[in-house]
Each structure stands twice: as structure tokens, then as C-alpha cells.
Amino acid sequence: MLNWIRIILKKLDKFFRDRPASAMILISICSQIIPYLSEYRLILSFSSGDKTFGPYDSIWNGYLFFAIFSSVISLAISNFLTVHNFKKIGIQDSDVNMYEGLTPSEMLDKVENNFSFLGTGANKLTSDNNFDKIINLDKCRILLCDPNSRGLKEIGDSSHSNYKLTVEKSIEKIKSIIDRGNNNIELRLYKANSKEEMPIFRIALYNDMCVTSFNYFTADKKDGSQLPQLHLKKFANKPLQSGFYYAYDTYFERLWKICEDSSYKYIAKD
């Protein structure tokens, strides 16, 4: 019996630690209702001797309404403070996964002038109809895994899928666009000698926004679309290091510079 009580208490503790708004609601309701339940049980009477305080009296309904109103206000304040704290460090939004939030197609449709992307491959981008939009951008930088990397082979072997072929396909699509004379687009490739050397993050930078997720290579054939992603905003009137955008932007720039020797861009022929 004691073990069951401990388990229940642990679950309640975890529930309320993860959901502070729910805790505030419950506390608010209890603080309003419990005293009046006690009064009801004591059968406190009003001025007339034949009328007792009960759950159908107007005063009882007033107390209940006030409890619910207080709970709603508590929830609103809690949510506001939570969202406000996230936005103070640049976190604008989050998605449980790619297709329940911002999809690759929707992201490409939002891009205005510049676009930078870091990924293993870019199959979800290059296979989308909106990808051709990058031709008209002022600047586009794409950083992908070298198909001959040993790390990519390890990932493919563990999942019994041809990761290399998928990456090669997206790289060839990008190269074909560059070869049409698009000197605003540059492709670079990084090498990973093992799965552990693969970049941990997938990053897209555009419109002073960063949409980021992470790589999680497993034995199944999932493509990463099931992973959560964050939307980070670049601060305009604050030091860049005040928000998380700075970290991902710096991470991309460092990898981009390291891979300078692998640059593939259009060179006009004489």
C-alpha cells in the first residue's frame, strides 16, 4: 500500500513540476471551494432558520464562479510569463515535429533574400517545388555531407538504407541549378570519418530566423521529419549573444569556413 502511495506522489510531483499552470489552477480551485465545502458540512444557516447553505444557492454559485475565474486568470498569467521568458532569449515557437509545424515547403515559401542550410542531405528541400525559388535569392549557402564520408556509410549500414544515394541525389540537383549560371548559390561539403563526427544540428537560417532540429541516427529508416524543431529569432536591438540564434548562426559560420576547400559555385567560362 505504501509503495502505491509513493508511486502516486511521485507521479503527481512530476506532473505539477512539468505543468506549473495546472498546479496553479488546482491550488486556486481548492483554495476557493474547500472552505465553503466545510461550511456546508457544518450546515451553517442564513437568517431564516429553514434555509441552509447548499450547492444550489446563489452564493455557492458565486463562489464557484470566482474559483473558475481565478483559475483562468492564473492560467493566463502562467502562460504569458512562460511565453515571455522564451521570447526574451529568442525562442519564438516550437514544433512537435516537422509536419505538425513548419514544413520544408512552407519554410522555402517564406524565404526572402538569403538562405543558409546545414544538413546531412537536402532531399526534403530539393524534392519540393518551392526549392527553385533559391535561384532568385541574393545569397544561398548550402552545407551538406560529402557522400564519400565514412560516417555516412556507417549510418546507411546501420539502417540498411542507401543514405549515400539520397544525399548524392540532392547534391546533384543543387549542382545542376548552380551550373545554369546561378552565381548567387554556393554548395560546400563537410566530411565525417565516423557517425559521431556528423554535425548534431540541422539548421536553416533565413529572414533573421533560425529553424533548427537535431540529427538522431537510428537503425530504422526514418528521415528526421519526426523530430522536434525550434524557431529562433535574431535580435535587432540587443546584443546577438542575448539569444540562442547567435549560437546556431556561429556554429554554421564555423563549419562553413572549415569547408571552404570543397566549395562548388558557378564560374563563368571565357
pLDDT in tens, 65-120: 666 666 666 666 666 666 667 778 888 888 988 888 899 999 999 999 899 999 99
Question: Residue 47: is its pLDDT beyond 60?
Answer: no
Name the domain boundary from 88, 115, 140: 88
Please tell me the predicted confidence (pLDDT) of residue 213: 93
Among candidates 223, 225, 228, 226, which has minimal Cα distance to 94? 228
Backbone angles phi, psi at 254, to 5 degrees: -65, -45
Q: Based on the fold, state whether residues 108 and 194 are members of the same structural domain.
A: yes
Domain count, the chain: 2
Is residue 52 located within the same domain as residue 99? no
Q: Both 101 and 185 in a single domain? A: yes
DSSP 196: G
Task: Let me know whether 145 and 217 are in one domain.
Answer: yes
CATH code of 155's domain: 3.30.870.10
Per-residue pLDDT, 258? 95
pLDDT tens sequence across 144-168: 999 999 988 888 777 667 788 889 9
pLDDT tops 90 at residue 233: yes
Residue 151: C-alpha distances to residues 120, 133, 147, 194, 199 (Å): 10, 31, 9, 4, 11
Compute the average pLDDT of residues 244-266.
Answer: 94
The backbone torsions φ and ψ at residue 144, rounded to the nearest 5 degrees and listed phi first, read: -125, 170
Same domain? 79 vs 102:
no
pLDDT at residue 42, as a whole number: 44
Same domain for 101 and 222, yes or no, is yes
What does the alpha-carbon distance between residue 164 and residue 152 come to, in Å, rounded to a whole number?
Answer: 7
| Global confidence as pTM | 0.71
Give helix 2-18 / helix 20-41 axis angle, nearest 10°: 120
Q: Within a domain: residue 206? A: yes
Q: Look at residue 250 and tell me if it is in a domain.
A: yes
Q: Quick one: DSSP state of residue 127? A: T
Instruction: Measure the CA–CA gap between 159 and 88, rounded to whole angstroms.
Output: 40
Tell me whether residue 169 is in a domain.
yes
Q: Which strands, in side-by-side order, build the sheet including 139-145? A: 91-95, 229-233, 209-214, 201-206, 114-118, 139-145, 185-190, 264-265
User: What is residue 154's predicted lDDT score, i.e. its pLDDT?
Assistant: 86
**List of residues 6+ apart from 133 with CB closer than 8 A:** 108, 109, 111
| Per-residue pLDDT band at 12 (split at 50, 70, 90) | low
- Residue 171: band (very low, low, confident or very high) from pLDDT cuts 50, 70, 90: very high
Higher-scoring residue by pLDDT: 257, 27 = 257
Which pLDDT does position 144 carry in this prediction? 96
Instruction: Please tell me which residue, 229 or 66, carries the higher pLDDT value.
Output: 229
> Residue 117: CB partners within 8 Å, gap ≥ 6?
125, 141, 142, 143, 203, 204, 205
Q: Looking at residue 56, what is its pLDDT?
A: 46
Say yes or no to pLDDT of 50 above 70: no
Q: What number is the average pLDDT over the span 41-63?
A: 50
Query: pLDDT of 130-149, one tens digit each?
Result: 898 888 899 999 999 999 99
**Who has greater pLDDT, 158 or 199?**
199
The set of residues, in sequence order, having a beta carbon less than 8 Å from that of 123 and lying 6+ positions away, is 166, 167, 169, 170, 223
Determine which helix (DSSP H) or strand (DSSP E) holds 94, and give its type and residue range: strand 91-95
Residue 10 reports pLDDT greater than 70 = no
Is pLDDT larger for residue 39 or for residue 121? Answer: 121
Split at pLDDT 50, 70, 90, the class of 1 is low
Q: Report pLDDT for 63.
A: 61
Q: Is the dihedral of CA 52, 55, 58, 59 positive or negative?
A: positive
Domain membership flag for residue 144: yes
Task: Identify the domain containing residue 32 by its residue range.
Answer: 2-88
Q: Which residue has the higher pLDDT, 236 or 75?
A: 236
